[in-house]
Every structure is written in structure tokens, then in C-alpha cells.
Structure 1
Amino acid sequence: MDVLCVDGDPDSFERTAAGLERELADVTLHPASTADRALELLAAEPIECVVSVYELPDRDGVDLLSSVRAEYGSLPFVLAPRAGSERIAAAAVAAGVTGYVPSDAPEDRSTAIAARVVEAVGRHDAHTAADRDRQLVALHEASAALITATTREEVAEVAVEAVSDIHGLVASTVYLYDEEANVVEPTASTEAALELSWDTGEPPTYGPGESIVWRAFERGEAERVGNVPADPDAANPETTIRSQLTVPLDEYGVLVTGSHAPNAFDERDVTLGRILAGNVVAALEQVDRRRELARRNERLDEFASVVGHDLRNPLSVASGRLDLARADVDPDSPAKEHLEAAKYALDRIETLIDDLLRLAREATEEPDLEPIRLSELVDHCRGAVDTDGATLRVATDRSIYADESRIRQCFENLIRNSVEHGSTGSRTASGDDVERAGDDVTVTVGELADGSGIYIEDDGPGIDPERREQIFDAGYSTSHEGTGFGLRIVERIVESHGWEIAAAESETGGARFEITGVGFVDDAE
């Protein structure tokens, strides 16, 4: 324990020091003969308690106590006058003394002082621990609230309330950076911050070199100022705010909180501020991602509208006219072959439009989850996919949570891929298509051994390892009949559920798709 012992009388000091060293284990005494020297030591040493007499050469002990309270808050302070009185005791209590030892204490004076020191430091530590618990609770609550914030303004509102709760103060503001104007603007403030003497009734906007706020933003470092009016970058030297903690929010801006007491913030406050700032930055990044996603979805909606309406109409007209032309042309006419090629091209366009619209839907709509049994899903695929004699097996009786229409599309595409590419001889080791030589492929659906998801595999020739990453790319296909969007749609469906998919090799060397992160339905449900 580091104790500052303030006494201008050498003999009195020696007696007090001897008693404290006798009564307190591992105490380190820092002697000061004047109040001014005591304040110097407080600024330089990690003092945990001040013990002072009333009678000092430069001022009295109550004056020193008042200075300590103004500069160091609730630091334990024990006053032990050599000749006390009720007037001194009353003044000490009014100034916020932690412990008082009257001159006529019944026990030994040094024993009484030591007891008051232990008591004062213990109360202070308990109070500090309670404050820390409160701060951690406030930080946790703020983190939870930030996760659900949907706008920058909402994030800023949560942040100012949180920083005030964490530090036990009420004057807080979040400034967000306006890149176009090159300024930081107040986005959210507590009532106490708004009540400060601003000319406009709210915190001002700051540009380069105009304030402590801008300085911290420009440097990108948290900063605590113990005497704001004396700071050369103080925007308002007449402010009633004495202490200010400014924490950058990366490129987004800064978080500011102030106190009317000088030197109100310590390193713990800075650390808590940085933690909160990190959470605020994460929330702002999430808001930006959502905003960008909303813009992308809007563009996709416009694209889907064009594809679904403006392209389908002329396509329908072309298909109708083509059907009339095909009916009028002699089957043996050379034009018949050209018309059939045109029909094939128009059908391909129709298929591509369907696939593109599915991709747009997967990118813009949230899945509606419900329990779905895998065996029933495979039964659906037997009727929806031309299996061409292939065998479909289910190696599990589990159910998963998924969007029914989307997971059906996902399984249809995967099973169709296995049927079309997985039959014996239908795919070479390089992935090139050759003429089908059989329809004996078996497609199996089961649960992964580690319980992390499901698999769909076949016993065909498999996929070249070098091409397993490419197969999910839009437009990639090894088949002249394929659009190249089937597996891309599968990947989008999987991602929309928050899952992951990867291509692998089955035990028989065939193609295997593993979907992880799947939520299984509890068998007891």
C-alpha cells in the first residue's frame, strides 16, 4: 500500500510513520512537509491513501483535502489533526473526508490512524469494484443494443447513452465524419451535452485544427484531457467541462464524453472507451453493409423486372411466330433445320431467364425456416427430376430446418446434376462430357459423420479436383445442355440459410457435396 503522509513537524511525522509501518504490512510511505509537495507527489506516485495533519506550513489540511477531491475524486483521505476541534471535524466532513482521527482518540494515535487507513482503503476498493461491475454490465448491454441498431443515427444514440452509463457521466456526443465537407458532425448527444453553452444549442461541427475532437480523430488515438480550458486546441476556453475523453471510431468519427471535474479519467476509462468504440465501429460497419445490400437488392429487383417482363414479352412473340413458321414449313425443306435451331436457342433463353430470376430471388429474400424431413425431400425429387433410371437413397431419418421451396430447388439441382453427369461413362476424369453409356448411377443423401450437416453424393466418375472450385461459378458448365447456373443457384440457396457447401469425392470416387452448418430438428421435438 502506498500512503502519502503529510506533516510539517518532523517529530510528529516520525511517530505517525513508525505507527503505520508497525500496524500495516508492506506499506510504502511517501513523506511531504507541505500541501504543495503533497500535490506534487500525488501527480507522480501511485498513492492509494493520504494521511494529513490539519496544521501545515502553507495551508491547512482541509484545504489540501478540497484540492485532492477536485483533482483525484474519491481517493481515500484521512485527516488526523494534532489539536482537533468540532469546527475542524465539521469542515473535514463537508469537504468529503474519508476518515477522521480526533486528537483525543482513546487509543494510541498511530494505531487509530492505521485503522482509519485500512478502513478507508477497503471502502474505496469495494466502491471501485462495484463501479467496475456496473461498467461491465453497461458495456454488455450496449453491445447487445448495438447489434440490433439499423441506422447510423441509432448506433450513435446507443453509444452516447452507453458511454455516459459506463463512466457515470452524462455529457456525451458522437461525431460522425462527413467526407465531402471534411468535418465531424454531432450525430447524437445526451441532454446534458445539449445543455452546455453552445451558441447553436447543440455541439458544433469541427473541421481540421479546430478542436480537441478533431485532433483525436485525425491522430486516430484515444485521448484524455484533464484540464480542457488550458488545452491549446480547446474549441471553447470558457467551457465548464474540465475533463474530456475522446475515443476515435476509426474512419467513422469520434466518441466524446466530458466531466465538470478535472482529471476525471484514468487508463481504465480509456480501455473501456476503446472496447465500446470497437463495438460501435462494428455496428456502423454492419449498418453500411446492410445499406449496400439494400442498394444491391434494389438493383437486382430492377434487373429481375426487366428480365421477367421486358424480355419475356418479345421472347413469347418470337416463340409464337416461330411455332407458326415451323408448322408452315415442309418437313423436308432445308429451312426446317434452321427453324429447329432457332427453337432450341429460344428455349435456352427461356431456361436462362428462369435461372437468372432464381438467382435474383436468392439474393434478395430471407428464407422462411420450417422442419423438413430429408426422406420426404428426396421423395419430392423423385417426382420433380427426370431420374432416367437412377437410384435415389436416403441414409438418414433426420429432419432439418430450411425454407421448403428453396431446399427443394437445391436438392433438385444437385440430384439432377448427379443424374446428368454421374452415370457410368458420362463424365471423363477431366470433366469433359461424353456420350452416356448407362443409367445405373446411385445418388445418396445422408448426415455427415461429425453431425455438422448433410451430404449428397453419387457413385459416378466424380469431379476433377482442380475443377471443384469452378463448378459453383455462374455460367460454368461441362454440358452443352446446361446453363451453368444450376450449382450457382445451389450455392446461393445454401448461403441464404447461413450454411456452407463444398465439393468433394465420395467413397466410390463419385461426386459428393457436403453442406455444413445445417440446423437439425431435435428428435424429441
Structure 2
Amino acid sequence: MDVLCVDGDPTSLERTVASVRRELPDATLWSARTTDEALDLLATEPIECVVSAHELPDGNGVDLLESVRASHGPIPFVLAPRAGTGGESVAAAAVDADVSAYVPSGSDDGGRDARDEGRNARERDRNAREGDRNARIRASVREVAREDVGSAVPEQARQLEALHEASVGLIAATSHERVAEVAVAAASDIHGLEASTAYLYDADENVLEPAASTTAALNLAGGPPTYRPGESIVWRVFERGEPEAVEDVPSDPDAYNPETPIRSQLTLPLDGYGVLVSGSHEPGTFDERDVTIGRILAGNVVAALEQVDRARELEKRNERLDEFVSVISHDLRNPLAVATGRLELARADLADAGVETEHLSSVEYALGRIESLIDDLLRLAREDGADVDPEPLRLSELVDHCCGVVDTEGATLRTATDGTFRGDRGRVRQCFENLVRNALEHGGDGVTVTAGVLADGTGIYFEDDGSGIASENREKVFDAGYSTQRDGTGFGLRIVDRIVESHDWEIRVTKSEAGGARFEITGVEFVADDTTESVTHD
């Protein structure tokens, strides 16, 4: 058998070659350091099997695998990432590309206790993991060397289809319990077995509780138990955080029930959430590929559980936000209205008595500031979670709207180049109003504000001929509460940023040709129409 070993690390490559030679002493071994070297050898030599690391100087192992599959068909391909270069995403990509075997790199945290002993202990730990990797490479090469590739492909396709269907179901799940139900069904389907159980960790009781089981698992004597620390294979895997395929369960020292009819067991950790267990009545059922597929399934289950947690947290945050908006809308506005009314009465009474009321002007200013802050905070709160309803919008019409709602006295507002784009009308109006208002507040008397379409057609700009924004402050202007104006709330441009973000656009601040501020919004989707040049409003 001609075997090609590929690895950009000379030391690792040498170890891989030695491992394959030990397993296949009569094989002809070839080696390559890069993807290009490997493809050249595949094109010129009778290569029958490829063993590759993932990180390569000119690409990665999955790319090489895809090239091999595209050009040379089902040549056995073993992907064996070095420590720290693998993971569920790499394994998933490899399986999608029809890898024959995947040798996981092992946990980079597996030697935490040893690393505390010093550099020598770290080295021993690294060598131990490397030795384990090489042993698994030898086992994988031995397996693919005797494997009938033609008969293996249909089974791989079935497993991948089951994994895909499980992913769809997991994405749609809205509770931990539903995730567990989809997970056990998928585990049994993928591995062709009937007995699977998902256990979720109860932190209050410090136990692993069965959350969902297949019918076959429920029918086992006593049904799925509740596991406590240190009393089972399941807890061992939960603590270690690494998948484990046990070939003979009754003989394992941590077997919960040595009398169990289950002979082999695949246990997959779920990142602190729990574990997923599949069992078989036959010993030695699970191989390296089952572990690889299991890793991918477990990763998808963890992602689904995290998604459920995020949705719950978002729901709580929205409830708190609704309470906040309610307090601002009612509980603050009401006393503010009372204070404003009393201020007017006090001013009238003092005026009748011939008393100066200049101090009341400061009170009036403070109350006005409070009202402005309330308005801006409400707008900011409503931006969170609000749906975007895009429709065709004409830039010049939006600029006209700004002239009607923003006090532009003494300023000039013009549209240099016109265009129609898609956006949420109400929110884009608010965005443009705030940009115009910002230019007028900072640009001084007689400022000219110009809006238009960017020259490359990717977005919209607003610029003025005022004093501009210092380069060191350009990133700060979108921060909540940042303002250089005494009357500014510091939320105007923050609201602009939120509206831009809600449309999946981007905004940046730069300097206009006249030396003023220029805001460029990119990622805008334009609708084909005629453009209109230079529309000016005084």
C-alpha cells in the first residue's frame, strides 16, 4: 500500500510516518510538507491512502481532502489535526467532505494538573497526547487499509443525512427538554441503535437527571437512573469533558450496574449541560468514526442548548426593558409635567410681586434637558428588538422631510446626488433627522449640509462645512452619553448607530472636503431609478 503523510511540522510529520510504518511495515511511504506537494505526488504516484494534519503552510487538511475527493475519488483519507488545531467545526467539515477517518487532536486542557508542576511536566503531558494521537493514527490507517470503501460510503451518507436532520430539529427547539428529545432520537438514528438517553445537569442537586430517553432505554431494567458524583461512566465523562467509547461496560471499574445488558456504550459530554449516552447489547460497537460523528452531534446539541438559554435571557431582558420604558413614559413624565406647570405658576407669582425670576431660567433649562433625555432614551429603547420593515425610499424626499421637522433656519440643506434605496421609513427618517440636527448643532451659523449617494454606489453620505470632528473623537461620537455640546444629550448619534445596525449597514465618520464632518453609511441596497442632481433647500 502506498501511503502519503502530509504535515507542515517536520517533527510531527516524522512521527506520523513512523506510526504508519509501524502499523504497515510493507507499505511504501511518501511525505509532503504542503498541499501543493501532496497534490503533485497524488498526480504522479500510485497513492492509495492519505494521512494529513489540519494546519498546513498553504492551506488546511479539509481543503486538501476536498481536492483529493474532487480529483481522485474515494481514496482513503485520515485527517489527524495536531493538538489545538482541531475541534468540532473541523470535524464537521471533514465529515461533510467524506473523510474516511478523523483522529481528534485531544484536549489542550487535559494536562492542567501536570502543567502546574512545571515545564517538564508540560512536556510529558504534550508527549503523552502526541503518543495517543499517533496510536490513533495507526489504528485509523489499519482500519482504512482493510476497509471496503464502496460499502462504507452508503453508511456514511446515511449518518450525514441523520446528522443534518438532527441539526434542523435542534435549531427549532425552544426548551432544554425538546433539545434532549431531538438529541436522543438523533443519536439512535445516527448509530443505528435503539437505546439512547440525554442527561441534563442539575446544579442545585449536583446530579445528572435523565431528560429524554428512547423507548428501548426506558425499557431497560429500572430505566435510566439519576447519576451522582463518582459512581458511573456517565459521571466520569461529564467531569472529564471528553467523549468515551467503552467496549465492555460490565468490566469497566466505574460501571454503575455491572449486571446491565448494555455491553458497549458511547458517552458524549455536553459542555457542562450534561451528557448524551448511546448503548448497544454487543461489545465493541463504537469505532473512531462513531466518536467523530458523536462529537459533531454533541456540538450541535450544545449550540441548541445555548440558543435556548440566550432566548430565555433575551426574553428576560425585554421584560426589564418594557418595565424601564414604562417607568420613563409614565412615572417620570408625570412629575416632570407637574414641575413644569409649577415653574410657570412660580414665575407668574414672582413677576406679579416684582421679584426677579432669572434663577427660574436655570430650572427651566434643567427640566428641558430632562425631557430631551427622556425622549432620546425612549427612542433608544425602542430600537432594541424592533423589526425592520424595508420599503423603497427616495433620498431627496427624506431630506425634504428633515427640512420640515428640524429647525434649519440660517442653514442650507441640499441633495447633491439622488437615489432610491430600501429601508424602514420611520427609522431612516429618525436617523437622517439626527444626522442633520447634529450638523446644525456643531456646524455653526450658515452651515451647509449635503446629502448624496457615495461615488461607488455602496451607500449614502451626509457632510457639512463646519468645524469637523477631531480624528481622536470620531469613534467616541457613537457612544451613549458622549457630547461636546452643553445642550446635547449624547444620544442622538447613538440612535443613528442603532438604526444603521438594525439595517445591517455600517457607518463611519471622516472629514469632508470643506473640513467639516462627513458620515458615510455603507451596505445600502439601492433600487434602480433615475438620479436627480443638486436639490437645494435654504
Q: TM-score when scaled to structure 2?
A: 0.67
Change (3 A) 1:160 1:506: farther
- The answer on whether the counterparts of 2:419 and 2:526 sit within 8 Å (CA) in structure 1 is no
Q: Distance in 1 between matches of 2:368 and 2:185?
A: 60
Match of 1:449 in 2: 456
Q: Which residue is equivalent to 2:469? A: 463
Matching of residue 321 in structure 1 with residue 342 in structure 2: yes
- Note if contact 1:378-1:394 (Cα within 8 Å) is conserved in structure 2: no
Relative to structure 1, is the Cα distance of residues 312 and 162 closer, same or farther in structure 2, using a 3 angstrom cutoff? Answer: same
Partners of 1:372 and 1:404 within 8 A in 2: yes
Find out whether 1:194 has 2:214 as its counterpart: no
CA shift for structure 1 position 517: 4.3
The answer as to whether partners of 1:501 and 1:513 remain within 8 angstroms in 2 is: yes
TM-score (norm. length: structure 1) = 0.68
Aligned counterparts of 1:300 and 1:455: Cα–Cα separation in 2: 32
Q: Could you tell me which residue of structure 2 aligns to residue 142 of structure 1?
A: 166
Alignment partner of 1:169 is 2:190 = no
| CA apart distance, 1:364 | 4.1
Alignment map for 1:238-257 (pairs within 5 Å): 238-257=259-278
Q: Is the 8 A contact 1:390 1:419 kept in 2?
A: no
**Could you say what the CA RMSD is over the residues aligned between the two structures, in angstroms?**
2.9
- C-alpha separation in 1, matches of 2:336 and 2:211: 52
Q: Please report how far the alpha carbon of residue 287 of structure 1 lies from its aligned counterpart in structure 2 after TM superposition.
A: 2.0
Q: 2:244 aligns with which of 202, 220, 223?
A: 223
Question: Against the structure 1 CA distance between its residues 270 and 522, is the aligned structure 2 distance closer, same or farther, given a 3 Å change threshold?
Answer: farther
Specify whether residues 159 and 211 from structure 1 end up closer, same or farther in structure 2 by C-alpha distance, changes over 3 A only: same
Q: Confirm whether residue 354 of structure 1 aligns to residue 375 of structure 2.
A: yes
The alpha carbon displacement at 1:394 in A equals 5.2
Whether 1:270 and 2:291 are equivalent positions in the alignment is yes
Q: Counterpart of 2:154?
A: 130
Question: What whole-Å deviation, never above 9, does each CA across 1:305-364 have from its counterpart, x for those lacking one?
Answer: 111111111111111121222233329955321122212211111111111111221224
AA partner of residue 500 (structure 2): V
- C-alpha distance in 1 between matches for 2:191 and 2:528: 45
Q: Residues 453 and 461 of structure 2 are in contact (CA less than 8 Å); yes or no, is this contact kept in structure 1?
A: yes
Match of 2:480 among 449, 474, 493: 474
Paired AA for residue 482 in structure 1: G
1:446-490 Cα offsets, whole Å, 9 max, x none, are 247373x44333333321121122212211111111111111122
Q: Secondary structure at the residue paired with 2:357? A: helix
**Secondary structure of 2:370's match?**
helix
Over 3 Å counting, the alpha-carbon distance change for 1:397 and 1:26 in structure 2 is closer
Partner AA of 1:491 in structure 2? D
Distance 2:358 2:385 in 1: 41
Larger Rg: 1
Structure 1 gap segments, 5+ residues each? 3-24, 28-47, 49-120, 424-435
TM-aligned CA distance change 1:398 to 1:169, over 3 Å: farther
**Separation in 1 of the partners of 2:328 and 2:322?**
10
SS at match of 1:176: strand
**1:211-249 alpha-carbon deviations (Å, 9 max, x no partner):** 111111100111111111221111122222222111111
Note the 1:62-73 alignment, pairs <5 A: none
Query: 1:34-433, aligned counterparts within 5 Å?
Result: 125-198=149-222, 201=223, 203-330=224-351, 333=354, 335-388=356-409, 389-393=411-415, 395-400=417-422, 402-421=423-442, 423=443
Contact 2:198 2:211 in 1 (8 A): yes
Partner AA of 1:441 in structure 2: T
Compare 463-472 and 147-156 and name the one that shifted more: 147-156
Instruction: Report the secondary structure of 1:251's partner residue.
Output: coil
Distance 1:446 1:127, change over 3 A: same
Residues 1:490 and 2:511 aligned together: no
Aligned residues between the structures: 390
Identity of aligned residues (%): 64
Tell me, in whole angstroms, the C-alpha distance in 2 between the residues paired with 1:333 and 1:403: 54
Indicate conservation of the 8 Å contact 1:448/1:454, yes or no: no
Counterparts of 1:281 and 1:490, CA distance in 2: 36
Change (3 A) 1:130 1:356: same
Give deviations 1:286-319, integer Å, cap 9, x for gaps.
2222222221221111111111111111111111
Shift of 1:128: 1.6
**Counterpart-to-counterpart distance in 2, 1:370 and 1:240:** 63
Rate the CA distance shift 1:149–1:331 in 2: closer, same or farther, 3 A.
Answer: farther
Partner of 1:439: 446
Cα deviation 1:401-453 (Å, max 9, x = unaligned): x33222221121112112221x3xxxxxxxxxxxx3x31322223247373x4
Letter in 1 for 2:185: E
CA distance in 2 between partners of 1:335 and 1:185 (Å): 75
Q: Distance in 1 between matches of 2:470 and 2:320?
A: 36
Partner in structure 2 of residue 86 of structure 1: none
Distance 1:333 1:274 in 2: 84
Name the CA shift for 1:148/1:392 in 2 (closer, same or farther; >3 Å).
farther
Of 378-387 and 495-504, deviating more is: 495-504
Identify if the C-alpha distance between structure 1 residues 343 and 254 changes in structure 2 by more than 3 Å, giving closer, same or farther.
same
For 2:319, give the aligned amino acid: E
Confirm or deny: 8 A CA contact 2:159 2:190 kept in the other structure: yes
